[in-house]
Every structure is written in structure tokens, then in C-alpha cells.
Amino acid sequence: MDLHDIIKELREENAQKIVLLVADGLGGLPLQTGGKTELETARTPNLDALASEGVCGLSLPVLPGITPGSGPGHLALFGYDPLKYRIGRGILEALGINFEVGARDVAIRGNFCTVDAAGNISDRRAGRPTTERCAAMCAKLKKIQIPGVEVFVEPVREHRFVLVFRGDGLGDQVNDTDPQKTGLKPLEASGKDTASRKTATVANQFIQEAGRVLGKDLPTNMVTLRGFATYPKIETMNQVFGFQAAAIAVYPMYKGLARLVGMTILDAGSTLENQISVLRSAWDKFNFFFLHYKYTDSTGEDGNFAAKVDKIEKLDQVIPDIRALNPDVLIVTGDHSTPSKLKSHSWHPVPTLLWANSCRSDQVTGFGEAQCLQGGLGQFEAKHLMSLAMAHAGKLAKYGA
Amino acid sequence: MDLHDIIKELREENAQKIVLLVADGLGGLPLQTGGKTELETARTPNLDALASEGVCGLSLPVLPGITPGSGPGHLALFGYDPLKYRIGRGILEALGINFEVGARDVAIRGNFCTVDAAGNISDRRAGRPTTERCAAMCAKLKKIQIPGVEVFVEPVREHRFVLVFRGDGLGDQVNDTDPQKTGLKPLEASGKDTASRKTATVANQFIQEAGRVLGKDLPTNMVTLRGFATYPKIETMNQVFGFQAAAIAVYPMYKGLARLVGMTILDAGSTLENQISVLRSAWDKFNFFFLHYKYTDSTGEDGNFAAKVDKIEKLDQVIPDIRALNPDVLIVTGDHSTPSKLKSHSWHPVPTLLWANSCRSDQVTGFGEAQCLQGGLGQFEAKHLMSLAMAHAGKLAKYGA
């Protein structure tokens, strides 16, 4: 039986409020064997108090050893099995620039490239143009018209743009046209089924037109397309969990992921303090809040241990403001680990704390990876976090008599 | 989505080397409540250092409470779900005597038995003949010819032999012919489908011929057949994980299991020191090594606690030789527990350590069951061990964007 079927069968709506605070890439590693992680190094009296009163554990976003991207990492926290619900690269790129993709869309990641007189690719990234030039080239591409579909082109940055075809019966089983090597022509797009062949035909027309409109604009005189993806069919969090859910995120990608599961996207401003103000003013209108904090991931990706520690300490400082609102369930976790030692996302389990009045206390007195390992939640698949949140919020009835 | 599909999608080949050291039946039990297990009793400074620097846990070979045989235990460690990939008894027997079974074979475990004048079984094991007599009787059986198939008969020991039919379209859904009681006639073989009926017909012909050639050789004057099994269709470790994999095992069964998943079988000699020399000389040619150490299991099966402790200490002594080769990932575990208190395989979780540069250290300072219970790997299904090994060796890309 599917997890969502059980939840839909057992769920009971009430006014209790759940806050899911996601510190992106929260988990870390010590720089030296036996040392402390970023979270363990940070001075976090407020998180420690929450951990001490609540219950802690380590979540596995996907499976042991599997490093998640932001999409699967967040879907799991939102209660969606990341192995069942997959989000294609094109859709994620579109979400990342706040493009509102819909059910009739195929979203595609585009790259500007350079081709020589014979049409062979000489630079797969067109010498990494400035983002301004990217926007100017996209303005040219926007003029391309293809009968039967709407075409949208939006710049991302440097050589990257998002291309969306909107129309009926468009599939996404289409190959990438980037041959992955210089000295070769871009590949022709071809589709695996009828709907995808339709998309491929449109894509090949677009590429031909792109060559025409960009033709003299060296070095950005051609494009390659990859990650063809239709909008995934996902039930909303309201449909599955019965939540009135709101997202308070600064970065477009996370707003997009929240929109994907039907959350209302609140204008979050650009700072953590803005986010907390928004939370406060929206408090009465929703019963589930997703707060996203990006900087624990970006500092980890930069390999900057000290900066990650600092960003964790900054996050700790807003915890009293959240608690002042009297949430019934407050969860602090990450969508994956981003150890500054590795400068990338990793597969290591993610420190997680859940605070509510119905927690069975464990021996954890501070929020950190080693302490979480001793916590009452144990190591668990992240997709179960929402069931735990619902249970602690009195939103799940008994299973069976 | 199947685990192997994910791994095939995400895997990236590189030169990093993984060593999987399997101490067969490693897990144990204290003789008295509150006492120490064999592994906890053994003096193991080198394993303790590895455990201290790396990450530990307890692996569940199949499911809680399920005691694995050597086949499922090893398949799980090799990254194959032992509930999905099953190896029939006949195939395991054939692997155990180093018989090279192939895709057109049905392998069967045979027993010599004694029948009386009426054809009823009076001794199901023919008085446990000597292994020499077993070989002599097999020599007689080898002469049996059956049209349309090749017949192979190989002695195992005492009353046991391996029978292989090689031909096209042979199934393995055939009943055991041993009635499990004396005073009854051997059962007729019958097949559940067309291919298996073909095998059953061949088997009945073989049994009839066996009666004829053995007829006067009391007490080994008849045979029963059981565990009909075709060769399982298993992708190789190279196909699934991209490994260049080599096995360094002394006993045929483990060589056979390694061959089943496509490992190159290196001539390992007969001692642990031989095995280490082979590892050293093959080091540059492969990037995955399976080393099998039998004696932790056989001493456990003997119920000899002190001998098992001694064998563990002997294993500990070669750890520096392995580390001197600078493996990127070194795993020490067992395929199951074999507590000398129980004198048999058991279902108890198996102490496991993984050493690599990217480990999140836990509080474990020595290699033993109680300490592993506090380890960062937690309790996990053994089939996930290969994903963890790959992650730590940088061989798995991010899942999703």
C-alpha cells in the first residue's frame, strides 16, 4: 500500500500548526577524523534547547549512499518518495528562474555554444558569455515562432537558458542534443514515442531557427538542448496531507519546488529576518509553513567551514522568534548534507530535530550529527518525516481498529 | 525503481579501489548473558583503529530474524537483493565443488541411499559412505547416457554428489524425489511446466539407470535427487556497478558465488598470507577486491568460542598489509553471524566497518557488536553496502538536480 494512500485514509484536519525549517545542506563532516562538524562547532543555544526538549535523529533523503539533488531532497521532506516522484532537469531549471511551468509544458535546459563554418561545435559553452549577453541572445530567440506550440525562452546565466514549449500532446522522451564533445555537430533531437516525436520535431525546428537568428553572433551562434521534461503529475500537499501550506523561501528553485506540491508561495523578501516577518504575518492563514534557508548549503559548496558555522549560528538566532508564535510542531532539518570538506552535496544522513509536546525525550542535549545518532528518531527515510509531523500535530487517526 | 537501475544511472567509473573483506560468520554471541562476543573478546588493535577512523554499523543480510545461507549472505554484500536473486540448492552445491555451471544447465543435489528388495528406502544416506566410496559410485553414474542431454556427475562427500544435466530448454520446477522418510519408494520426478517436464523425464531416466548400474552395490544402491536449479540470470558487478572485480577466496563455494556475479577468480592459494600476496600482485589490475576468510564461520559452526577468537586475531594481523596498499575504501564485515554458542548460522545483525576518507566519524573506538550498535551506519540492509562503498569511492553521481 502506498504511503500516501495510508495518510489520506487516516488524516484528520485540525488547526494545529507545523513549521518545517529546512537549512539546505545542513549535515556536514569534521575536517579531521575525530573532529567536529560545522553544526557541532556552531554555538546554537536555541537549537540545542529544541533538541533537548524534542526528539532527534538522522534522515536519509533517498537511500544509503545516494547523494540527492535539491529536488529529491525537498520532495522527501515534503513527504513524497523521491524514487517515485522524479523531476526532470528542464523543469528544475524552469523552477529555478521562477518560470511558472504547467501541465502542457515541456521544459528544456538550453546552452549557447559556438559552431564553426562546417557546423561543428568548437566551444560547448560559447566561451561562457556574460549574463547580459545571455539575456540579449535570449531576446533574439524569443522571436522564434513555431506553428502549433507557444515558445518561451528565458535567460538563466552565462551560457544557460530555459526553453519551454507549451502545447498539447508534447512528450519528454527526447535525447539531449549536446554531443558532449567538441568537433562534432549538435545531435538531432528524436523522440521515443508519438508525443515525444512531436516535441523532437518542434525542437529541431527551433534549433534550425536559432542557427538562423544567431548565425553571425560569434561566439554564441548556436544552441544545444538537454533535459527535456514535462511537469510531473504530483498531488498537492493539501490533497495528500490536508495542509493549508505556505512556502517562505528566498531562492526561486525552492519556491518552484514548493509550488510543485501546491504550496502557496509567500513573498519572502531577501533576508532571514524578512522571512520571519512574513511567517509572523501569515501565521493565522495557514497550518503548514516551509521555511527555506539557503546559506548552509552555499557555504558548504564553497568549502568554507567557518562561514557555514557562522550561517548556522545566524539561523539559531531566529529560533526564539519562531517559537514565540507557538507552533505545535517545529522541525529543523536539511534536504541533504553539504560538508564543506567535500564542497558538494553528499550522501551522509541529515541531522533532524522534531519538537512538539508529544515527543518522547531522548538523551540528546544538543543539535549535532553525533548526538542525533543517539536520538529517538534513529536513522529514518526522510519521506516519513511528514507522517511524524502529522502524528505530533494530532492529524493522523489510528490505523485499523 | 529498482536499486540497480538507480546505480546504473548514477555510476561514474574511476580508478578508486574498494576492498571488501568478508570474515564469514563474523557476528557472534556471548556465552553468558552480559558477556563478550567472540569479536569483542579478540584482541584486534588493527581492526579497532579502522573502526575508530571509519564508520561502523550492523548489517542485516536479509530481513530481521532471517538466518541467511552463504548464498544470500554474499549476494547481499555484493549489492544484490537476496530476496530478489535466489540461488537454487543444486547450483550452490555445484559452485561448492568448483563445477562451472552455465546457462543451459540444471544442477541437482544427489544423495546415495539404500533401497530394499521392494524398492523402499531403508537408509536415506546409505549409511554415510566414505568420500572415496562416493567417488567410486559417481564413476559408475558418470557412464549413464541420456539422449538429448549431457550428464555430469561429481562427488561431494559421504553420500552427497552433484548431478548436472546440460541441454536446451531444461526447466527447474521439479520436485525433490527424496520422500524424507524411510519405508517409502523414492518419488517420481515431475515438472510444473513444459521445460521442467523435460527435465523430470531426464531425471526419471537417470534414476532408473542409476538403479541399474548401482543395483548390487549395497548400501549405495539407489539415489535421490533434490534442489533442481537452473543458473540464475544475474547481471555482473561490472554491468551493475562498473567494477573491475576480483575474488580472492580459498574455498570453492565462495569462488563460485563470486563467479556468479562476474568477478575474475584469482588463484588464492590456501592461506590468508597467500591471499594477501595475491591481492598485492593483482592490485593494479582491478578496482574492486573481494577477500573471503572462512575460518570465523567454521570455528563458529564447531562451537569453538576460543578458536573463533583466535581466527579473528589472525585476521586482524593482516589488516596492516591491506592498508599498506592504500585502498580508497576498506570494508570489513561478515555474510552473516555464526555464534559459537549456537554452532550455526544465525539471524543476528553483522558487525560492519567502512573505512574511507569521507567517513563521518562516530563514537566507535573498537570493532565489536556492542560498539557497532552505536555506529554511524546504524542497522542497515546489507544490500545497500555497495552503494555506500561507491559513494565513498566517488563512484556515484548526484540523484536528481
pLDDT tens-digit readout, B5-26: 999 999 999 999 999 999 999 9
- Are A188 and A294 within one domain? no
CATH number, domain containing residue A123: 3.30.70
- Are B239 and B385 within one domain? yes
What pLDDT sits at residue A343? 97
B345 pLDDT above the threshold of 80: yes
- Are B70 and B202 within one domain? no
A30 with A37: CB under 8 angstroms?
A: yes
Q: What number of other Cβ atoms are within 10 A of residue B236's Cβ?
A: 14
B72 pLDDT above the threshold of 80: yes
B323: buried, middle or exposed (CB in 10 Å: 19+, 13-18, 0-12)? middle
B106 pLDDT above the threshold of 90: yes
- Are A26 and A108 within one domain? no
What confidence tens digit (pLDDT) does each residue in A318-372 have? 999 999 999 999 999 999 999 999 999 999 999 999 999 999 989 999 999 999 9
**How many domains would you assign to chain B?**
2
Nearest beta carbon to residue A373 from set B358, B376, B401? B376
- Are A372 and A337 within one domain? yes
Q: How confident is the model at residue B252 (pLDDT cuts 50, 70, 90)?
A: confident
Q: What would the grid cell of residue B244 be?
A: 573491475
Nearest CA in chain A to B399: A68
- ipTM of this predicted complex? 0.90
Helical (H) or strand (E) element with B162: strand B160-166
Contacts of A373 in chain B (CB under 8 A): 362-363, 374, 376, 378
Nearest CA in chain B to A347: B391
Which amino acid appears at position A29 of this protein?
Answer: L
Nearest CA in chain A to B361: A34
Q: How confident is the model at residue B1 (pLDDT cuts 50, 70, 90)?
A: confident
Residue A400, in any domain of the structure? no
B329-333 and A378-381 as β-strands: parallel, antiparallel, unpaired? unpaired
Examine the fold and report which residue of A202, A230, A258 is the final residue of a domain before the chain moves on: A230
Contacts of B392 in chain A (CB under 8 A): 65
What pLDDT sits at residue B172? 96
Rg, C-alpha atoms of chain A: 23
Q: Whole-number mean pLDDT of chain A? A: 96
What pLDDT sits at residue B141? 97
Q: What is the DSSP string of A319-360?
A: HHHHHTT--SEEEEE-SSB--TTTTS-B-S-EEEEEEETT--
Residue A249, in any domain of the structure? yes
Q: In chain B, what percentage of residues exceed pLDDT 90? A: 93
B121 pLDDT above the threshold of 90: yes
Q: Span B138-163, mean pLDDT? A: 96
Nearest beta carbon to residue A29 from set B360, B400, B401? B360
SS3 B364: coil
Nearest CA in chain A to B378: A379
Residue A328, in any domain of the structure? yes
B401 pLDDT above the threshold of 90: no
Residue B143, in any domain of the structure? yes
Q: What number of other Cβ atoms are within 10 A of residue B313's Cβ?
A: 16
Q: How confident is the model at residue A1 (pLDDT cuts 50, 70, 90)?
A: confident
Residue A289, in any domain of the structure? yes
Are A347 and B401 an interchain contact pair (Cβ–Cβ within 8 Å)? no
A46: left (phi over 0), alpha (psi -120 to 50) or beta: alpha
Q: How confident is the model at residue A98 (pLDDT cuts 50, 70, 90)?
A: confident
- Are B210 and B62 within one domain? no
Q: In chain A, what percentage of residues exceed pLDDT 90? A: 92
Please give the residue range of the domain that contains residue A144: 92-230
Q: Span B46-67, mean pLDDT? A: 98
What confidence tens digit (pLDDT) does each residue in A40-85 have? 999 999 999 999 999 999 999 999 999 999 999 999 999 999 999 9
What pLDDT sits at residue B96? 85
Interface of A with B (CB under 8 A): 29-30, 33-35, 37, 58, 62-73, 82-84, 86-87, 89, 92-93, 227, 339, 341-342, 344-349, 369-370, 373-374, 378-379
CATH number, domain containing residue B64: 3.40.720.10
Q: Which residues lie closer than 8 Å to B132 by C-beta, 6 or more apart?
A: none
Name the minimum distance, in Å, from the CA of B362 to any CA of chain A. 6
What pLDDT sits at residue A379? 97
Q: What is the DSSP string of B248-294?
A: E-SSHHHHHHHHHTTPEEP---SSHHHHHHHHHHHTTT-SEEEEEE-
B4 pLDDT above the threshold of 90: yes
A284 pLDDT above the threshold of 90: yes
Contacts of A342 in chain B (CB under 8 A): 358
Residue A397, in any domain of the structure? no
Residue A358, in any domain of the structure? yes
- Are A57 and A130 within one domain? no
The alpha carbon of residue A253 and the mean position of all alpha carbons in its chain are separated, in whole angstroms, by 6
What confidence tens digit (pLDDT) does each residue in B220-238 have? 999 999 999 999 889 999 9
Name the minimum distance, in Å, from the CA of B265 to any CA of chain A. 27
Nearest CA in chain A to B54: A33
B370 pLDDT above the threshold of 90: yes
- Are B175 and B310 within one domain? no
Q: Which residue pairs from A188-194 have beta carbons closer than 8 angstroms and sit at least 24 positions apart in sequence?
A: A189/A225, A194/A169
Contacts of B361 in chain A (CB under 8 A): 30, 33-35
Name the minimum distance, in Å, from the CA of B1 to any CA of chain A. 6
Q: Span A119-138, mean pLDDT? A: 94
Residues B384 and B395: their CA atoms lie apart, in Å, by 14
Q: Using alpha carbons, select from B327, B261, B249, B335 the residue that is nearest to residue B292.
A: B249
Q: In chain B, what percentage of residues exceed pLDDT 70? A: 100
- Are A123 and A180 within one domain? yes
Angle between helices B70-77 and B252-260 (to 10 degrees): 50
What pLDDT sits at residue B309? 98
Q: What would the grid cell of residue A27 be?
A: 549535515
> pTM of the predicted model, to two decimals?
0.91
- Are A72 and A110 within one domain? no
What pLDDT sits at residue A96? 85
Which amino acid appears at position B288 of this protein?
Answer: F
A196 pLDDT above the threshold of 90: yes
Examine the fold and report which residue of B198, B230, B262 is the final residue of a domain before the chain moves on: B230
A18 pLDDT above the threshold of 90: yes
- Are A166 and A248 within one domain? no
Q: Span A14-30, mean pLDDT? A: 98
Are A341 and B358 an interchain contact pair (Cβ–Cβ within 8 Å)? yes
What confidence tens digit (pLDDT) does each residue in A206-224 have? 999 999 999 888 999 999 9
- Are A282 and A384 within one domain? yes
The vertex-B252 CA angle with B130 and B296, nearest 5°, equals: 90
Examine the fold and report which residue of B230, B260, B294 is the final residue of a domain before the chain moves on: B230
Residue B160, in any domain of the structure? yes
B394 pLDDT above the threshold of 80: yes
